[in-house]
């Protein structure tokens, strides 16, 4: 069974938070806590309460896969595979993470990709890197 964890994209600051940065502080430090996560109706929401209005982060789930450099692969990552770029997405139709090519072809992913795939960016920090063409 794969480890369930998330990283989060802060759209206002244009910053990616690692899973470790999202961990809740110890009880003694709770007065300084600003990032909270909630599971509501099966949807994970991550909020930052530093400002006057709460800011909702974009949660990105760990796929359970690693690339050839032992980097964790998350949804939204852009990967180099079979000489071209692909995006890692969640498919509601098959309830699994899949690999989307620029021309709309979908491939199943999995641990078997570890030696052949490499994370080169993500759709938030590198929005022009992968352009899906419908």
Question: Is it the case that residue 134 has pLDDT exceeding 60?
Answer: no
What is the pLDDT, as a whole number, of residue 33? 63
Query: Count of CB atoms within 10 A of residue 60's CB?
Result: 25
Domain ranges of the chain: 6-58, 62-122
| Of 106, 109, 104, residue with least CA distance to 62 | 109
The CATH class given to the 62-122 domain equals mainly beta
Give backbone dihedrals phi and psi of 102, rounded to 5 degrees, phi first. Answer: -60, -25
| Mean pLDDT comparison of 7-11, 57-61, 71-75, 114-118, highest-scoring range | 71-75
Residue 18's alpha-carbon distances to 52, 72, 88, 93, in angstroms, are 24, 11, 17, 28
pLDDT digits (tens, 9 = 90+) for 16-61: 988 887 765 544 455 566 777 777 767 778 878 777 788 888 999 9
What does the alpha-carbon distance between residue 46 and residue 36 come to, in Å, rounded to a whole number?
6
CB of 124 within 8 A of CB of 77? no
Range of weakest confidence among 46-50, 67-71, 91-95: 46-50
Q: What is the pLDDT of residue 70?
A: 95
| Average pLDDT score over the chain | 84
**Given this model, what pLDDT does residue 31 score?**
55
**Residues 73-85: tens digit of each pLDDT:** 999 999 999 888 9
Higher pLDDT, 33 or 114: 114
Q: What is the pTM of this model?
A: 0.81
Q: In this structure, are residues 17 and 11 in contact, taking their beta carbons and an 8 Å threshold?
A: no
């Amino acid at each position: 069974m794969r480890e369930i964890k998330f990283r989060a994209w802060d759209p206002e600051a244009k910053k990616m938070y690692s899973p470790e940065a999202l961990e809740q502080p110890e009880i003694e430090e709770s007065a300084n806590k600003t990032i909270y996560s909630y599971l509501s109706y099966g949807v994970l929401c991550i909020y930052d309460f530093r400002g006057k209005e709460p800011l909702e982060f974009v949660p990105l789930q760990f796929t359970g896969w690693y690339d050839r450099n032992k980097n964790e692969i998350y949804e939204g990552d852009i990967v180099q595979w079979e000489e071209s770029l692909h995006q890692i997405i969640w498919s509601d139709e098959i309830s699994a993470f899949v690999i989307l090519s620029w021309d709309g072809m979908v491939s199943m992913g999995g641990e078997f990709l570890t030696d052949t795939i490499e994370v080169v960016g993500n759709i938030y920090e590198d929005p022009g890197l992968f352009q899906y063409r419908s």
